[in-house]
Amino acid sequence: MLFTLTILAANLRACITGVGSLIPIIRADLGLSNTLAGLITTLPLLVFAAVSPAAAQFSRRFGFGRAVLFGLLALFLGEGIRSYTNTLGLFLGTALMALGITIGNVLLVSLIKFLFPDRVGSVTGIYSTSMALSACVSIGISVPVAVGLGLGWRNALSMWMILAFFSIVLWISQMPRLKEAPAETLPDAEETKPKRSVYRSKLAWQFAAFFGFQSLLFYSLTAWVPSILQSRGFTVEQAATVAFLLQLFNLPSTLLVPILCARYRDQRLPLLVFSLLFLTGTTLFLFSGKSVLTYISIIIAALGMGSGLGFGNLFISLRTRNAQEAAALSGMGQCLGYLFAAAGPVFLGFLFDLTGSWTLPLLFILCCILLMSYFGLKTARDRFLFD
């Protein structure tokens, strides 16, 4: 099941992150305006926000196994519709694909708590790293496949259908294992339904704020770092290399944070350390100009940024008492977090248009890192959701 979980996690970012570098090609091919082109990357975040609260209820209604299977099927079909139809299909397919990802985002974290209660840290690290690694690979190969191999953007995006199909086969093979488990331990069991609304928990709101800021930072920097570098005189290829480094050096902290921090009941000290790395790297990037310091600053910032995903997934398990509470907290946190994060890339673009400089947008990023750290420290304390 661990292998299956790892493969499923790889679906949750790869088909999204690779789109950004292909947007100029898609825009030229379909004749899209800049506004519509920007919606390609924003639409999945809006779907995440809209659907996340319902994912846990959907699981209770139809069963955990069937809910995840439905999500994988939606992901597979959405990827196909996005790649091989017209302009309307591009957006409808993206929305359907995002629906499937949302179900996986919310439910798979609770599956970790259900299947691996004594290995939450290590399994969460593997799960988070699979997400981050697939995002890194997607960014690295999308343009070479589309342009270098001459396959075009449609085939470059549709190649992730292979991974989705393989995941469907794997999940179907594992569903009997869930049916054989005692009813009271299943993530969709009524006995484990939260006794109170997650929206009445102060900790849940603090987690949602932390998750929102770390998501905003990830998607904003992923979207705009190449443009920032090109404005400083970097070539398209150099900017792509730095963007790849940003994703690559996410991986160590994404993997190690859950493994190391799950051993302790309080995670405030490591969270502070990684937040300082993020803050230091971004500050250096602000002043780096076109120099080797740019590469160094991006690596330092990436090590700090990668911890956000690791901490976010880990907190869902450590701050809840059972899998259903984990699903409820995951649903709320991702709903509010992604709704907030969707505004990030747009707002950074607005600040650039307003000032004609990337200085103010990067200062905004620094403020968001401080706020993420504040709410992260609140969430990192040793307590449970409904204490």
Judge contact between 275 and 372, C-beta under 8 A.
Answer: yes
Instruction: From 330, 380, 360, 351, select the one nearest 113 (Cα to Cα).
Output: 330
Q: Which residue has the higher pLDDT, 29 or 139?
A: 29
| 183: confidence class by pLDDT, cuts 50, 70, 90 | very low
Residue 380 has pLDDT above 70, yes or no: yes
* Mean confidence (pLDDT) of the chain: 85
| 185: confidence class by pLDDT, cuts 50, 70, 90 | very low
Q: Say what the pLDDT of residue 34 is.
A: 66
Q: Say what the pLDDT of residue 376 is.
A: 93
Q: Measured between alpha carbons, how far is 48 from 71 in angstroms, rounded to an integer?
A: 12
Q: Measured between alpha carbons, how far is 372 from 375 in angstroms, rounded to an integer?
A: 5
Maximal CA-CA distance, the chain? 61
CA atoms within 13 A on the CB side of 306: 29
Q: Residue 208 is which amino acid?
A: A
pLDDT, one tens digit per residue, over 231-278 is 888 886 787 788 888 888 988 888 888 888 877 888 899 999 999 999
Judge contact between 375 and 210, C-beta under 8 A.
Answer: yes
Judge contact between 321 and 311, C-beta under 8 A.
Answer: no
pLDDT, one tens digit per residue, over 138-182 is 888 888 888 888 899 899 999 999 999 999 999 998 888 766 554
Residue 114 has pLDDT above 70, yes or no: yes
Q: 380 to each of 55, 195, 205, 274, 386, how far by Cα in Å?
A: 25, 23, 13, 13, 15
Q: Measured between alpha carbons, how far is 384 from 307 in angstroms, rounded to an integer?
A: 21
CA quadruple 308, 311, 316, 320: dihedral positive or negative? negative
CA triplet 219, 72, 24: central angle to 5 degrees? 40
Instruction: From 254, 20, 245, select the one nearest 130 (Cα to Cα).
Output: 254
Q: Measured between alpha carbons, how far is 119 from 138 in angstroms, rounded to an integer?
A: 29
| 346: confidence class by pLDDT, cuts 50, 70, 90 | confident
Instruction: From 176, 212, 220, 160, select the one nearest 374 (Cα to Cα).
Output: 212
Residue 190 has pLDDT above 80, yes or no: no
